[in-house]
Amino acid sequence: MSGLVITNGIRFLILLIVQVLVLKRLSPGIESFNYIHILLYPLFILLLPLRTPQALTLGLSFMLGLMVDVFYDSPGVHAAASVFTGYLRGLVLGYMEPRGGYNVNFSPTKERMGFRWFAGYAAVLMAGHLFFYFSMEAFTFAYFADTLLKTLFSFVVSMGFVLAVMFVFNPES
């Protein structure tokens, strides 16, 4: 149990540091094309162990989002999106539950659940996170087309990063 806490604590710190020190500085190169935002930190929420209670998932999601907000100078937008993703995670896991159920001692990784299952799980949660994030950022329906474009372009790039991390680092727990 303590090994699981240490592993997830290290994952929390590494994803936070990578997000705020590396990915924040990346830009698409064309200043007028401001539709690509790389968000990797939701991977922490995706990889929480299956037996993590919903309240703890929401609390950790809030803490992670709040820390990202501090570095991005955004007033609670990342925190709100992270809590939404933490809540959505329980619903998606319930919907995608295999016929025999989950082995609750593990995290939902591509190694444990299979690449196809993980890609679908990550895609739903990342799309939800990004859409909610950009909706909260705009906070109006007047920019709905921009919100959809940002979600689409950011989803493609962010999912590429999520899958690359899963293949390169292959987290087991």
Q: Please report the DSSP string for the chain in residue order.
A: -HHHHHHHHHHHHHHHHIIIIIITT---S-TT--------THHHHHTS-TT--HHHHHHHHHHHHHHHHHHHT-SSHHHHHHHHHHHHHHHHHHHT--TT---TTS---HHHH-HHHHHHHHHHHHHHHHHHHHHHHH-SGGGHHHHHHHHHHHHHHHHHHHHHHHHHH----
Please provide the average confidence, as pLDDT, over all residues in the chain: 89
pLDDT at 154 > cutoff 60: yes
Structural domain of 135 = 2-169
pLDDT at 100 > cutoff 90: no
pLDDT at 118: 93
Average pLDDT of 100-129? 89
Q: What is the pLDDT of residues 19-32, one digit of tens each?
A: 999 888 875 555 66
pLDDT at 106: 82
Structural domain total, the chain: 1
Q: Which residue has the higher pLDDT, 3 or 108?
A: 108
Q: What is the pLDDT of residues 116-132, one digit of tens each?
A: 999 999 999 999 999 99
pLDDT at 107 > cutoff 70: yes
pLDDT at 143 > cutoff 90: no
Q: What is the pLDDT of residues 40-49, one digit of tens each?
A: 999 999 999 9
Task: Give this prediction's pTM.
Answer: 0.91
